[in-house]
Structure formats: C-alpha cells, structure tokens
Amino acid sequence: MSNEATHGHPEVVTTHEAHHDEHHVHHHKETFITKYVFSQDHKMIARQFLITGMAWAIIGGLMSVLFRLQLGYPDQSFPFLEDILGRWAKDGKITAESYYALVTMHGTVLVFFVLTGGLSGTFANFLIPLQIGARDMASPFLNMLSYWFFFIASVIMFSSLFVQTGPFSGGWTAYPPLSALGEASPGSKVGMDLWITSMALFVVSSLLGGLNYIATILNMRTKGMSMTRMPLTIWALFFTAVLGVLSFPVLLSGFILLLFDRHAGTSFYLDSIYIGSAALPNEGGSAILYQHLFWFLGHPEVYIIILPAMGIVSEVMSVNARKPIFGYMAMVGSLFAIAILAFLVWAHHMFVTGMNPFLGSVFVLLTLLIAIPSAIKVFNWLTTIWRGNIRFTPGMMFSLGFVSLFISGGLTGIFLGNSALDIALHDTYFVIAHFHIVMGVAGFFGMFAGIYHWFPKMFGRFLNNTMAYIHFWVTLIGSYLIFWPMHYEGLAGMPRRYLDYTNWLSFNQFDGLNKFISTVAMVVFAVQLMFIFNFFYSIFKGRRVTVKNPWGSSTLEWTTPIVAGHGNWPGEIPEVHRWAYDYSKDGREYISQTEPVTPDEKPH
Amino acid sequence: MENSHGHVSHGQTADSHDSGHGFDTKAIWRTFWILLVITCIELIVGMFIAPRFPHTTKVWFNILYIIFTGAKAFYIIAEFMHLRHEIKNMIMTIAIPALLFIWFIGAFLWDGDSFKNLRNTLDPHHKEATQKPVAPAPAHGTEEHLK
Amino acid sequence: MANAVSANQKWWSGGRSPFNVEYGKLMMWYFLMSDAFTFGAFLISYGSIRFATNAWPDPNHVFSSFPFMGHTHLPLVFVSLMTFILIMSSVTMVLAVGAGHMKDRKGVIKWMLWTILGGIAFLSCQAWEWTHLYHQGAWWGSNPFLNYDNTQSTTNFTNFFFTITGFHGFHVFSGVVINIIMLIMAINGTFDRRGHYLMIEKAGLYWHFVDLVWVFVFTCFYLF
C-alpha cells in the first residue's frame, strides 16, 4: 500500500518542469497571434472573456431597451425600430414574435454569456493563478480552448439572430413543447437548433474552464498558500467551478434528449399534444422531466453567477475598509453550504407545474435553509465595514451596492421560496424584480467591483473616477427605480411575458409606472455605454499605475510587476507566510502575504 | 520553477519504492473474480429465479440488483480506479459530490411516480387506454411491427 | 501510505500536490465526476419516465437472443457476456497501468493491445445487438414490444435504450481511440522519453469509468 500511495511524486516533478520549458519557449517567439489571439496566458484569456462578455452585455442590454420601449409605450410606434429590426418591427411596432425572441435572447445572453462566461470566465482566469501564486493555469492549453469554445458558442448564438425564422423565442429556459416542436413557433425551427448547439458548446467551454480552475486551485498553490490562507475570491471561484462541473452535464443530458425529441421522433418530453386538431403520435413523455433537468442546472447556475460576485466583494471590501474580513472561516463555510444547497433546491422553480405538493414542501424547507448561509455572509460584510477606515473607491462603492442589492433581492427570495405564496406570485413581475435584483444587478455589481478594482492590474492604468462615480450612482438608483415598482405590479398580479397590457383593465393603473420604468431603463443603459467608453478609453489613455500595489492590498497579485508577462513573476514565485487579510494589524495598514511572521505576532 | 523544488526529494524516495515493488496484481485478479461472481449471480437470479415469482415481487429483486450494482461499482472505483489507495482528502472530494445523487434520484423518481398517480386519477381515459391489453400473445418482436 | 504522508501530519507545506497526484490525473477524476452526472441525468430521467408510466416491457422477453443461436430464449446471457468482456478489458487495462509503473514498455504494449481488443469486441457485440433489435422494428421513435402485461408500450422504452446505450457506446468508442493513441505513443517510446507512463494511467481511469457506467446500464435496462 505504501508504494502505491506515492506513485504520484516522480511525475509531478516532470510535469512541472515540462510546464516551465513550455513557458520559456513561449517567451521567445511571441507573435501577435500567440499574444493576443490564441494566447495561453491566463491574463490574456481573462481579458478576452471580459471583452467578449462586454460585447454580449451591450447586445443583451440593448434587447431589454427595445422590449422596454414596447412595454412602456405600447400605443406608440417608433419608425427607427423598423430600421433596426426590419420586418420584426413592422411599422415601428415590435411584433409578438420578436418580443418573445427579444426576451428569450436577453435572458440567455445575460445569464450564460455575460454573467457566467463574462464574470467567472474573466475573474477565475485572471485571479486564480495570480492570487494563489502560480505561473499559469494547470493546463494553459485547455484554458485557451475554453475561451475558444465560448467564442464559437457566441458566434453561433449571435448568428441565430439573423436566420429567416428568427432566434429561439420560447423563453431562456427553453421548455418543451415550445422548444421540442418546430411547428410550435417560428423561433422553434432552426433558431432553436442553433440555440442548443451554442449552449452545448458553452457547456463544453464551462467544463474545460471549471476543471482547470479546480485542478489549479488544488494543485498549483505556491509554498505556504494553504487552503485557509487563500483569499475569499479564490474560495468563491473554487465553489463556482465545482457547481459548474457538476451541474452543466445535467443540462447537456437534457439538451441531448431534447435534440432527439426534435429530430429523431422520440417523446421524452412530449405527450398528448394537438396541433390544430391533429394529435401528434408522441406518447408517454413528460414535459416536467425537462424542467427538472433544466433547473438541476438552472438553480446552481444562479450561484455560479452570484458566488464570484460574493468573492470579489469580500476581497474588495476588506481591502478598502482596511480591516480583515469578518469571520473568514464562516465565509468559507457559508460558501460551501450554498454550494451544497444549490443542488438540493432546484424544484422551487416548479411549484406550479403540477409537481407533487408534498415533494414541493421538502423543496420549500431546503430552499429556506439558504437564508442561513446568505445571512451569515451579509452580516459578515456589514461587520467587516463596521468601524472600518473606509476608502470609497469605485470598487468599494460597487461592493457596498452589491450588499444592498443582495439584501433587497434576497428577502423577496424568501417570499418566493414558500410554495403557498409562490402560487400567487409565480410568473408575475414580482419574480422578475426578485431575480433581476439579486442575480442580475447584484451579479453585475460584483463584476463592476472586480473590474474597477483589478483594472490597474489588468491594463496598468486606472479607470476614470468621475465617470466611475456617475456610473455607480445612476446604476444603483436606476436599478432600484426599475425593479422596485415591479414588486408592486407583481403583487397586483401582473403576469410576465405579455406584449401588451392595454386591453387588461386591471393593469391600466400601471401605464404611467411602466413608462417610468422604461425611461429609467434607457437612462441606466446609456450610463453603461459610458462605462464601456471609460473602459476602452482608459486602456489607452487612463492614468498610469506607478506603484506595484496601488490599493495597499496584501494579496499576491500585487507583488507582480505592474505589467506582468506570461509567468507572472519574473523571478521566483514568492512564498506565502500568512493569510490574505492582515489589515490594520500591529499598527500597520496592511501586511503583505509574503512577509514572514515575526516571533511576537500570532501566526494565522 | 518554485513549485518543483518541493518535489525532488519526495520524488526520489517514491522512485526507489516504485521500482522495488510492482502493482498488486493479486488484488486486481481478486477484484476480477468478485465482479465475475456477482455478475453470474445476477444472471442466475434474473434468468431463473425472478421469472418464477409474480410481477408484484419485482421490487424486491430490484433492491437486490441495486445492492449487487453498488458492490460492483464499489470494487471498480476502489480497486480498478485505485481510489481506495489515494489520500483521504482526495477520496472525500469524489465521495461528497457523489452524495448529491441521493436527492437527485429521490426527487426525480418521487415526482415521476406522483405524475403517474395524478394522471391515473384525473384522466380516466389515459388509465383505461394504458391498462387495456392489446394482444393475447406475449410480445416478441413480430414482423408486422417493422417500420 | 505511511511513508508518503501520514494522516496526522499537516499535509500542506506548499509547492507540491496536496493529493500526491499530478494535475492531469486530478482533472481526469473531476471530469469523470462530471461525466457521471451526465450519465446519471440520463439514467435518472429514464427512471423518472418509467415511474411515470403504468407498465413497461419485460427485459427478459426483449433481450433474449444470442448470435448464431436462432430463435432461442436465452435472456441476459448475451449481455452478461458483454459485461464479462468489459470487466476483462478493465483488468487488462489495470495490468497495463501496472506495467507502466514498472516502466515495462513491452508489458504496456501487450496489455494495451488486449484492452483495445476487448473494447472492439464489446462494440461489436453492441453493434450486433442493435442490428438485431433494429430488425425487430425497434429504433428511436418506434417500439415493437409490448409491456409485460400485454398493454401497449410507449416508445420511450426504445428511446431511452438506444440513447443511453448509444451514449455509452460512444464513450467506449472514444476510449478505444484514446487507447489506440496510447498504444502508438508507447510503441514509439514517447513515454520512455518522458520517463513516466502517467498518460496510460489517465486513459485507464477513463476506461474503468466506461466499465463502471456499464454496470449501471446493465442493471437499469436488463435487470429492472
């Protein structure tokens, strides 16, 4: 037995050596293609993910502006819409088909391509090797493939916008029969095939990335970087990767069955369906099965979005409050608890599908348990800033905004997690308000906090602060103005996914409110364009970073040169002697992780 | 570069060990015989014993099969895939996520069963249609069913 | 195990793998974990649909033929043979990995050849079984078999059977391809130049996983 346990050793040596040889070769012949396009440098791949994600965010955001225009001004026509959308907005009014296509694509794009690919793709790639002290990912090649699979998935999804019958339009959850039968709607034809293909490639990309992140975090940490010395960003990204690796395959299985239903005459999800007056031959399937498979991914997916944001916020907040994060182990424990619970609660999205109510009650219990780790996290953030020496940098502002949004959006989650309340609230604007605040906007705030905080590390320049503060305040206030009123609309029973409410007298009272929401949405979108401008302007013209560690942060990424090459540290990788949160200790503002512990100080 | 320093000494001790002893071939063959015997028992139960009992007792045989399957899976993972000999923490990183299957299976089967009962209760036509025998002879892939 | 890392020792001193395995093997393990969820989702969907259906065909009636035996009634025998072939090829795979540990190139080549042969034999058996069922009228979307109580069966019996065994067969096929690549690399002496046969070990993990999945497929489709 003894000899068997050790057989890992000799290879470990060789692999690492081989790995470093590769780096050297790489350094010598760096062309434009290997540096900017097919780069294997994790920092470049992170930037590729970020910029692709930003492109998608503009597209997805623009879609929401277009359908908000319809929802706010259902009686008016906008001739310019016909210029953009052509026959999808005949006479300047969005058609029903294009409205559904827009909301479907808005959801798909923002959930998967922006807040999954763009958020954890960017920060996992950028931060993991830098913060744990590694030269690169465990497998830089697979890492590169991960981006390019994401890119191909993006191209296919984007191309589906331009097919004759339009992109898929049955909602981002792609429930059958709308997604299984080509006859169901124009978008269910080739648009749906492109949608599935794109999503399958996206799953491959996320698996390649996730496996790499896990292996890197477990195996490649520098000397002294024990698991409990890692910054919380790394813990969060670790659990995010675990969630992705275990839940995306289930979605893939669901999609494979869906493809068979579409093209091989099977009836996994189909039963007793009539088109016109003719019955389809499909018997014996269950549409609820698809929903189970989808939400088995779908619920972990929302944590895949929010966990990286939580990690980023914890780190940025501690740095800028100049205080150690409060309750480090409780933070790690609650991340772990959230990761486990993520797999146990999926059917709370399905309370009104006809699912067994007794089964539903178990899901209610498990769902409400999530409140515990979430509350632990929120209170720990609040106690972290309590009596802190807070520096209101843009990153810190967005972190504070994140906590505010996470509380407001999280509390309505407790409403919706109760199946009895959910019967009334399901598929109303209340749900829209809930998940946009807690997952959408909060996820974006985490992402913005990360971008503002690590932009100096990514590009060697700062973002413009004035624009950053405008960006923050307008986005925060605007988001609340958009989504807060939706709670009232939802409580009044206003259902989602309707093109036009004018003939529905009970909701006529909301005409003014809808106009208001649409107006604010456009203002907020415009401010995001300003952020995009700030981003690209600052890459080239921003204020230069002149010191290695501009935020006075104790983590490892700030010990690299201002513009680090492939391999991150020019010499030896620094050794780590303490945890990541020694702020305001022994009368010093911060102590870098690389500083040895002095005898009179308590080691962590 | 940094990373490799720690390995060298470890690597050498491991090397000398590896060349000394081989793989535990005996354990592999023992595992093989265990798997073979379990498969044979399954074959005998499925072929000769289970058909002699009425269909209502099928569930007990299924439980038996699940136990056999679990045993086979254990031996494949532990011995063939060598997991039993890895470090405990690594075993945990595999075993804990695997526990998620309990609720995954439980909830899906529960809801499937509930869907059946719901339909049988609320859709008498469906119940009648699915419980009406269509042919007197047992099904054995006859030619008329060809596409 | 004792002289590698003792359980009580604080096992992280930095700069090496905490699990005593190199990253590739770790990635393979976690990939297999995620693949287990893919197969798990398929089999659980099958279970869910079966629980939602009033009756199901009896596998002893459906899978009762054996090649070159005419119209015999030999339920389970053929599929047990397939199981035996796959388990056997798993054993030869372990022996190849063991030979790799001793840097015994000849041994690796010999056992890899047997493993590949086992994989091809399994795929051939599956091809025969599929062809046989196809000629009986079974395919995706068409099910000639009746339920055990002679009621009309839905097509989901064959739908799931072909999808899941097909997906498993696809894994076996990719396993065979991977093993052939490993064999060629071993013959060319690539692993000797590297000084280790770790790739064989990773291919081995994948191969055993394919075997593991078959154990579950066997139970779910042929026994239940």
* Residue A597 belongs to a domain: no
* Residue A20 belongs to a domain: no
Choose the mutation target among B8, B47, B117 for the interface with C, i.e. most C CBs under 10 Å: B47
Distances (CA, A) of C23 to A68, A138, C11: 48, 6, 17
All residues of chain A having their beta carbon less than 8 Å from the beta carbon of residue C54 are: none
Q: Which residue has the tokens 């308000």?
A: A433
Tell me which residue in B1, B7, B100 faces A246 most closely, judged by beta carbons: B100
Q: Does A220 touch chain B (CB under 8 A)?
A: yes
**Rounded to an integer, what distance in angstroms lies between the CA atom of residue C155 and that of residue A282?**
8
Residues B73 and B119 in one domain: no
Is the pLDDT at B16 greater than 60? The verdict is no
**Rounded to an integer, what distance in angstroms lies between the CA atom of residue A367 and that of residue A347?**
9
Tell me which residue in B5, B39, B76 faces C208 most closely, judged by beta carbons: B76
Q: Average of pLDDT values for B24-40?
A: 90
* Residue B50 belongs to a domain: yes
* Residue A306 belongs to a domain: yes
Across the B:C interface, residue pairs with CB atoms under 8 Å apart total 210
Do the chains contact at B129 and C19, CB–CB below 8 Å? no
Distances (CA, A) of A75 to A84, A515, A523: 19, 11, 21
**Close Cβ partners of A103 (under 8 Å, ≥ 6 residues apart):** A63, A67, A171, A172, A497
Q: Does B13 touch chain A (CB under 8 A)?
A: yes
Are A177 and A269 within 8 A, CB to CB?
A: yes
* Residue B140 belongs to a domain: no
Do the chains contact at C15 and A215, CB–CB below 8 Å? no
Q: Does A250 touch chain C (CB under 8 A)?
A: yes
Do the chains contact at B2 and A356, CB–CB below 8 Å? no
Domain of residue B57 covers 24-85
Do the chains contact at B6 and C11, CB–CB below 8 Å? no
Are C31 and C38 within 8 A, CB to CB?
A: no
Tell me which residue in A20, A356, A575 faces B111 most closely, judged by beta carbons: A356
Are C148 and B130 within 8 A, CB to CB?
A: no
Q: What is the pLDDT of residue A4?
A: 36
Residues B31 and B60 in one domain: yes
Choose the mutation target among A12, A336, A340, A556 for the interface with B, i.e. most B CBs under 10 Å: A12
Closest chain B residue to A6, measured at CA: B14
Q: Provide the chain A residues 273-312 that lie in CB contact (below 8 A) with chain C.
A: 282-286, 289, 292-293, 296
Tell me which residue in B86, B107, B115 faces A286 most closely, judged by beta carbons: B115
Residues B76 and B41 in one domain: yes
Q: What is the pLDDT of residue C1?
A: 31
Structure tokens at A186: 């124009």
Residue type (1 letter), B127: K
Residues B59 and B107 in one domain: no
Q: Does B20 touch chain A (CB under 8 A)?
A: yes
**Rounded to an integer, what distance in angstroms lies between the CA atom of residue A397 and that of residue A282?**
55
**Rounded to an integer, what distance in angstroms lies between the CA atom of residue A134 and that of residue A222?**
6
Residues B28 and B81 in one domain: yes
Do the chains contact at A2 and C1, CB–CB below 8 Å? yes
* Residue B13 belongs to a domain: no
* Residue B133 belongs to a domain: no
pLDDT tens digits, one per residue of C169-215: 999 999 999 999 999 999 999 999 988 898 999 999 999 999 999 99
Structure tokens at C139: 């395919």
All residues of chain C having their beta carbon less than 8 Å from the beta carbon of residue A254 are: 41, 45
**Close Cβ partners of A109 (under 8 Å, ≥ 6 residues apart):** A56, A59, A60, A63, A157
Residues B95 and B113 in one domain: yes
Residues B66 and B100 in one domain: no
The total number of residues shown for chain A amounts to 604
Residues B50 and B37 in one domain: yes
**Rounded to an integer, what distance in angstroms lies between the CA atom of residue A504 and that of residue A508?**
7
User: Residue B107 class from Cβ within 10 Å (0-12 exposed, 13-18 middle, 19+ buried)?
Assistant: buried
**Close Cβ partners of C24 (under 8 Å, ≥ 6 residues apart):** A15, A138, A139, A215, C198, C202
Q: Domains along chain C? A: 35-223 (1.20.120.80)
All residues of chain A having their beta carbon less than 8 Å from the beta carbon of residue B20 are: 3
Do the chains contact at A344 and B2, CB–CB below 8 Å? no
CATH of the domain at A572: 1.20.210.10
* Residue B63 belongs to a domain: yes
Q: Which chains touch A (3 or more CB pairs under 8 A)?
A: B, C
Residue type (1 letter), C173: F
Residues B116 and B64 in one domain: no
SS3 A347: helix
Q: Specify whether the backbone of C15 is left (phi greater than 0), alpha (psi in -120 to 50) or beta.
A: left
Q: Does B38 touch chain C (CB under 8 A)?
A: no
All residues of chain B having their beta carbon less than 8 Å from the beta carbon of residue A9 are: 7, 10-11, 13-15
Q: What is the pLDDT of residue A324?
A: 94
Across the A:B interface, residue pairs with CB atoms under 8 Å apart total 94
How many domains, chain B? Answer: 2
Domain of residue A117 covers 41-271+280-320+330-590
Tell me which residue in A215, A264, A289 faces C141 most closely, judged by beta carbons: A264
Alpha-carbon gap: B34 to the closest alpha carbon of chain A (Å): 20
Distances (CA, A) of A407 to A412, A450, A452, B134, B139: 9, 20, 22, 60, 60
Helices (H), A322-464: 328-342, 357-369, 371-385, 394-417, 419-425, 429-435, 442-459
Do the chains contact at C212 and B19, CB–CB below 8 Å? no
All residues of chain B having their beta carbon less than 8 Å from the beta carbon of residue C36 are: 98
* Residue B134 belongs to a domain: no
pLDDT band at B135 (very low <50, low <70, confident <90, very high): low
Q: What is the pLDDT of residue C200?
A: 93
Q: Provide the chain B residues 26-65 that lie in CB contact (below 8 A) with chain A.
A: none
Other CB atoms within a 10 A radius of the CB of residue A275 amount to 11
Do the chains contact at A573 and B103, CB–CB below 8 Å? no
* Residue B46 belongs to a domain: yes
User: Residue C94 class from Cβ within 10 Å (0-12 exposed, 13-18 middle, 19+ buried)?
Assistant: buried
Do the chains contact at B115 and A354, CB–CB below 8 Å? yes
Nearest in space to C21 (alpha carbons), one of B89, A255, A343, B114: B89
Phi, psi angles (nearest 5°) of residue A586? 50, 40
Q: Does B54 touch chain C (CB under 8 A)?
A: no
* Residue A32 belongs to a domain: no
* Residue A402 belongs to a domain: yes
All residues of chain C having their beta carbon less than 8 Å from the beta carbon of residue A227 are: 12
Do the chains contact at A215 and C27, CB–CB below 8 Å? yes
pLDDT tens digits, one per residue of B69-111: 999 999 999 999 988 888 888 999 999 999 999 999 999 999 9
Task: Give, to the nearest 10 degrees, the angle between helix B88-122 and helix C23-51.
Answer: 20
Q: What pairing do the DSSP bridges indicate for beta strands A583-585 and A588-590?
A: antiparallel
Tell me which residue in A142, A257, A284 faces C45 most closely, judged by beta carbons: A257
DSSP secondary structure letter of residue A291: H
Q: What pairing do the DSSP bridges indicate for beta strands A274-275 and A588-590?
A: unpaired
How many domains, chain A? Answer: 1
**Using alpha carbons only, what angle is made at residue C106 by residues C100 and C111, rounded to the nearest 5 degrees?**
70
Radius of gyration of chain B (CA): 25
Other CB atoms within a 10 A radius of the CB of residue B85 amount to 18
Closest chain C residue to A575, measured at CA: C14
Is the pLDDT at B141 greater than 90? The verdict is no
Torsion angle (degrees, nearest 10) of CA C178, C183, C185, C191: 110
**Rounded to an integer, what distance in angstroms lies between the CA atom of residue B32 and that of residue A322?**
60
Last residue of a domain, which of B85, B102, B137? B85
Residues of chain A with pLDDT under 70: 1-29, 603-604
Residues B93 and B41 in one domain: no
Q: Provide the chain C residues 69-128 that lie in CB contact (below 8 A) with chain B.
A: 75-77, 80, 83-84, 87-88, 90-91, 93-95, 97-98, 101-102
Phi, psi angles (nearest 5°) of residue C139? -165, 180
Structure tokens at A389: 């020496």
**Rounded to an integer, what distance in angstroms lies between the CA atom of residue A179 and that of residue A294?**
12
Q: Does A354 touch chain C (CB under 8 A)?
A: no
Alpha-carbon gap: A329 to the closest alpha carbon of chain B (Å): 18
Residues B56 and B76 in one domain: yes
Residues B92 and B69 in one domain: no
* Residue B135 belongs to a domain: no
